[in-house]
Amino acid sequence: MSNQYPEKIVYDLPGFLEITAGEFITKLEEQVASLPELIDIKMNNKITQLDKEDDLFVARSDSSTIVAKSVILAMGNGSFVPIKLELENEEDYTNINYFVQKTSDYVGKDVVVLGGGDSAIDWAMMLEPLAKSVTLVHRRDQFRAKLSSVEKLKQSKVNIITSFIPKELKGDKNNLQSIIIESVKDQSSQELFCDELIVSYGTISSINYLQEWGLDVINKKVEIDLQSKTHIDGIFAAGDVTTYQGREIQIVLGLAEGMQASASENQYLHKGIKQRPIR
């Protein structure tokens, strides 16, 4: 969250009318830091190997080996890369963005956003009061975002173009100046001039370890039960790394699964005796 959308306002966290993703992460960090006797944090450790050796789990990264009696997986989508446009010279232009890091970079500018999901609409709506103009281009005529967001979008000043796909990028050295879009219905084209282009086509997850670690994986996610247990005794999971029927991608759901995983882990470690995990 703090990497991908630190300034995005999140409206669906209980207890907060609105809060930026970055502020929320800071609050979580403060909470974790208040429990130094319980939580030992190892930063910059990408776990690439997880083995069971006798009764213990051994997690390995490039720089360390961690031995534990149990494991909670909370890796989200793993390390991920944004889906690119795959158009000529895309890599050359420094004003093509795949995440919005600082909204101040867009003040007074002509911004084009490509995409039709929640993130694309959220960015368009957030930048609309700051930018000179915001144009949202989506390849379908229906958005696949929350209905309430789509309604707000339609009432905003965002210029909405549907059923068009990007065809060509035009610019000068490192500066993209315009994008040619083409109608999927009649192949007519339009040129959109822009100071900043945001490509919001989602990300490709690079999680390929889960299967190697012997977990039950469906669409690159680990299947869990109502107790946040994976099918391997002693391994639990929470957050976007998990799957079950109807699971939504929501922060609050990941937090609840984290609580459940930690309660189940406690029972596992204390042989079925229920204990309150923390405080």
Ligand X SMILES: Cc1cc2nc3c(=O)[nH]c(=O)nc-3n(C[C@H](O)[C@H](O)[C@H](O)COP(=O)(O)OP(=O)(O)OC[C@H]3O[C@@H](n4cnc5c(N)ncnc54)[C@H](O)[C@@H]3O)c2cc1C
Shortest Å, Cβ 147 to ligand X:
15
Q: Which amino acid, residue 37?
A: E
CB nearer to ligand X: pick between 87 and 251: 251
Contacts of 139 (CB under 8 A, 6+ apart): 116, 162, 163, 164, 165, 184
CB nearer to ligand X: pick between 184 and 249: 249
CB nearer to ligand X: pick between 115 and 171: 115
DSSP 3-state of 7:
coil
140 contacts 165 by C-beta, under 8 angstroms: no
Shortest Å, Cβ 128 to ligand X:
17
CB nearer to ligand X: pick between 171 and 230: 230
Cα four-point dihedral sign 120, 122, 127, 132: positive
148 contacts 11 by C-beta, under 8 angstroms: no
Residue carrying the six token digits 């209980």: 14
Shortest Å, Cβ 254 to ligand X:
4
**Residues in touch with ligand X (CB under 6 A):** 1, 4-5, 8, 10, 12, 45-47, 74-79, 119, 239-241, 249-252, 254
Shortest Å, Cβ 187 to ligand X:
31
